[in-house]
Amino acid sequence: TRGYSVMKGYWGSRFKTREAIQDGWMHTGDLATMDEDGYVKIVGRSKDMVIRGGENIYPVEIENYLYRHPKIRDVQIVGIPDERYGEVLAAWIIPKEPGCLTEQEVREFCSDHIAHYKVPTYYRFVTEYPMTITGKIQKYKIIEQMKEELGL
């Protein structure tokens, strides 16, 4: 973003200012798309990007695809460290009804329609996500729990 209303920098922190503002442009870390009419839609965060075997994967893309599944109420995709690929995907899924969905069903739903490297490696069926007091999902806690569970 750029304009008269954009901050000049972080108070007392030249390092943060240099990191965020370059050539007059403030880099927010948001990923966005712009339609033909010039409307901008925020679709994710660059920090959420997962690099699996050299391929860049944006979790929001996989989440948006999985929302189409008739048995999925909500889904969160995160990157988990992996020795071979660097990172692999883990899907935390809240089904519409407990016990109505299997890992195999989700894999099959993905396999014919998205690239093989975008199909999650790990699946967890949960009833809720770790949240902040204001209701924001804490993906870093999902990652920590997966790493602990997998012994990473």
pLDDT tens profile 70-95: 999 999 999 999 999 999 999 999 99
**Closest by Cα among 123, 136, 30 to 69:** 123
Q: What is the fold of 49-150?
A: GMP Synthetase; Chain A, domain 3 (3.30.300)
pTM across the whole model: 0.74
Domain-by-domain residue ranges, the chain?
1-46, 49-150
Query: Are 114 and 59 within 8 A, CB to CB?
Result: no
Phi and psi dihedrals of 26, rounded to 5? -90, 120
Chain position carrying tokens 């007392």? 12
Mean pLDDT (whole number) for 118-128: 95
The pLDDT, as a whole number, for residue 121 is: 95
pLDDT tens profile 128-143: 999 999 988 899 999 9
Q: Does domain 1-46 correspond to CATH entry 3.30.43.10? A: no
